[in-house]
Structure 1
Amino acid sequence: MTLFNQLIKTEDILLKIHQIGNLLNTTLDTGSIVLICGNGGSAAQAQHMAGEIVGRFLIERNGLPAIALNADSVALTAIGNDYSYDEIFARQVTAFKDSAKLLFLLSTSGNSKNLIQAALRAKKYGITIVGLLGRDGGTLNKLCDFSIIIPSWSTPEIQEVHLAIIHILCDYVDGEMK
């Protein structure tokens, strides 16, 4: 059975996308910042998602508050050098704790130490955590308030589905603005 067929048979994934889309809109409606992060290809997708929220997706609208925590090379290298690579996102979560209410974690394995630390920090501050994960969800699955797991061990497959989900979520944001 192909990954696509597995996902289509999972009505649960559609419900989760709907719940997360509503949560994203509620967060943005309150003016709270949406934090997004990942490593490698997932970092690129985090930046893409933040760009679609801050800029626009398909319709003209005002920019909305979202930050890809992996986009600031100065912060990443300073935190990595002064503390550790495991702290690069957690320290930023602490910095934005008063204005952020939602954290997206993108991970194909679900086991990246720096994302786990970010999740633990977000929990400490009452920030809701959404995981777009792969494989079996890894450690992050247990830390997320909402997670969508792509049941594949193929990084490209996982990232392709994550990108589709990101676009659906951005469409939720546009739909709210119409």
Structure 2
Amino acid sequence: MSTAALIESHLTEHLTAVQRLPEFVPFIEDLAKRLVECLKSGGKVLFFGNGGSAADAQHLAAELVVRYRVNRAALAGIALTTDTSILTAGANDFGFDTVYARQVEALARKGDVVIGISTSGNSASVVNGLVEAKNQGCLAVAFTAEGGGRCAEVADLCFRAPSPVTARAQECHLLVGHILCDWVEKAFAS
């Protein structure tokens, strides 16, 4: 495959997935309203995932805490992927499958929104974190690829990115995440 053909195939896959995102407008609007409600009532949004999804979790939490486009008061967004002491102690003492559930147990409160990101939808650490979120009375939201996996089964809401390809799903996750951050920011900007 030539370089041009490789580039074209990536762009075609990306555009095909993104062009399907309008199907998810009701989901995005519903989740955006729930995020605003959570934050306005003093709650917080917790994000987690593994690998590239961990990076997306950190990215979206930063957009809430720092800003997306405009200066405004900081919003309570936490990435559960950043504390190496907690992650390594939890993985060592209880197994990696528990690293997000333990943090959700410790930090989440009823009414918070917990967003677990797993393109396969089957990452045990993400599934367990979502289950614990529901146990804590939080809104458990999954971002997955097209199949949804176990995350879709245990979450209250699931955004199944319209592609089975990990990279394309991650691109959709970030785009939807940015839309949510923009919506939330507009609700708090003065």
Give me the TM-score of the superposition, normalised by structure 1.
Answer: 0.93
Superposition misfits of 4+ residues, deviation over 3 angstroms? 1-12
Structure 2, gaps ≥5 residues long: 1-11
Match 1:98 to one of 99, 105, 109:
109
> 100-109 or 31-40: which moved more?
100-109
Residues 134 and 151, structure 1, Cα contact 8 Å, conserved in 2: yes
2:148 alignment counterpart: 137
The residue identity in structure 2 corresponding to 1:120 is V
Q: How many residues align?
A: 178
- CA displacement at 1:3 relative to structure 2: 5.9
1:153 paired to 2:160 = no
SS at match of 2:112: strand
Matches of 1:33 and 1:138, distance apart in 2: 26
Residues 68 and 185, structure 2, Cα contact 8 Å, conserved in 1: yes
Residues 109 and 138, structure 1, Cα contact 8 Å, conserved in 2: yes
Matches of 2:20 and 2:83, distance apart in 1: 39
1:82 alignment counterpart: 93
RMSD: 1.7
- CA displacement at 1:97 relative to structure 2: 2.9
- CA displacement at 1:124 relative to structure 2: 1.2
- CA displacement at 1:133 relative to structure 2: 0.8
Deviation by residue 1:69-92 (Cα, 9 ceiling, x = unmatched): 011111100111111100000000
Structure number with bigger Rg: 2
Indicate the percent of aligned positions where both proteins have the same amino acid.
Answer: 35
1:39 paired to 2:50 = yes
Deviation by residue 1:119-144 (Cα, 9 ceiling, x = unmatched): 11111111101111103000100111
Residues 110 and 104 of structure 1: is their aligned pair in 2 closer, same or farther, counting only changes over 3 Å? same
SS at match of 1:136: coil
Would you tell me which structure has more helix in proportion to its own residues? Answer: 2
Give me the TM-score of the superposition, normalised by structure 2.
Answer: 0.87
Residues 77 and 112 of structure 1: is their aligned pair in 2 closer, same or farther, counting only changes over 3 Å? same
Matches of 1:11 and 1:4, distance apart in 2: 12
Matches of 2:171 and 2:21, distance apart in 1: 17
1:60 paired to 2:71 = yes
1:28 paired to 2:31 = no
